[in-house]
């Protein structure tokens, strides 16, 4: 009942939080200080096999570095087997309009042909999955079995995160679409505000 939620959470965290932590070849860096107004929704079709049922993150605002509490439930009716693609669309609100941020050095509105490879980069195969996934027996590598998944209320620590200079303060929305064999598996949209220094 727990296995698939781990990939949904891993991919969500990878696309939303790990993206800005990637190393860029820029001298201009910002420090993420707060995430404010986190909200989410499913954005796929009603018959998508992978669906997030609940996702709760607190407090609001989330201080960085700092702790956050998260819980989630999700389901998939199909196994997720490599390769699983992820299409990320990142937009920022500018003067009342949503502006798409292009893919710059693998950050922004990017297509990742195999999210399983991304997970292997974040957590090398053979290593235990990080807490609290390990405690609850949630996997962090492909393949992921079909089923229902639950992450009970758990504490996560967010370390200092460097942002690229162009990821400035403001309101953002991120959409991630999972796909395999040319078919959409699921879609998740997240909105939040970034405060940096």
pLDDT of residue 28 exceeding 60, the answer is no
**What CATH number belongs to 3-196?**
2.70.220.10
pTM of the model as a whole: 0.81
SS3 158: strand
pLDDT of residue 114 exceeding 60, the answer is yes
pLDDT value of position 1: 30
Distance CA 124, CA 113 (A): 18
Q: Which of 195, 14, 10, 23 is nearest to 104 (CA)?
A: 23
Can you give the residue ranges of every domain in the chain? 3-196
């Amino acid at each position: 009942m727990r296995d698939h939620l781990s990939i949904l959470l891993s991919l969500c965290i990878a696309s939303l939080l790990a993206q800005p932590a990637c190393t860029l070849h820029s001298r201009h860096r910002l420090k993420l200080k707060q995430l404010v107004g986190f909200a989410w929704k499913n954005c796929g079709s009603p018959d998508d096999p992978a669906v997030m049922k609940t996702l709760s993150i607190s407090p609001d605002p989330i201080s960085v570095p700092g702790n956050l509490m998260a819980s989630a439930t999700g389901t998939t009716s199909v196994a997720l087997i490599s390769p699983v693609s992820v299409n990320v669309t990142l937009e920022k609100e500018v003067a009342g309009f949503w502006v798409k941020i292009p893919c710059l050095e693998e950050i922004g509105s990017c297509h990742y042909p195999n999210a399983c490879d991304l997970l292997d980069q974040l957590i090398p195969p053979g290593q235990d999955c990080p807490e609290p996934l390990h405690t609850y027996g949630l996997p962090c590598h492909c393949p992921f079995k079909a089923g229902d998944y639950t992450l009970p209320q758990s504490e996560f620590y967010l370390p200092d995160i460097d942002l690229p200079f162009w990821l400035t303060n403001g309101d953002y929305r991120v959409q991630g679409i999972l796909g395999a064999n040319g078919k959409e598996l699921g879609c998740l949209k997240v909105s939040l505000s970034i405060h940096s220094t």
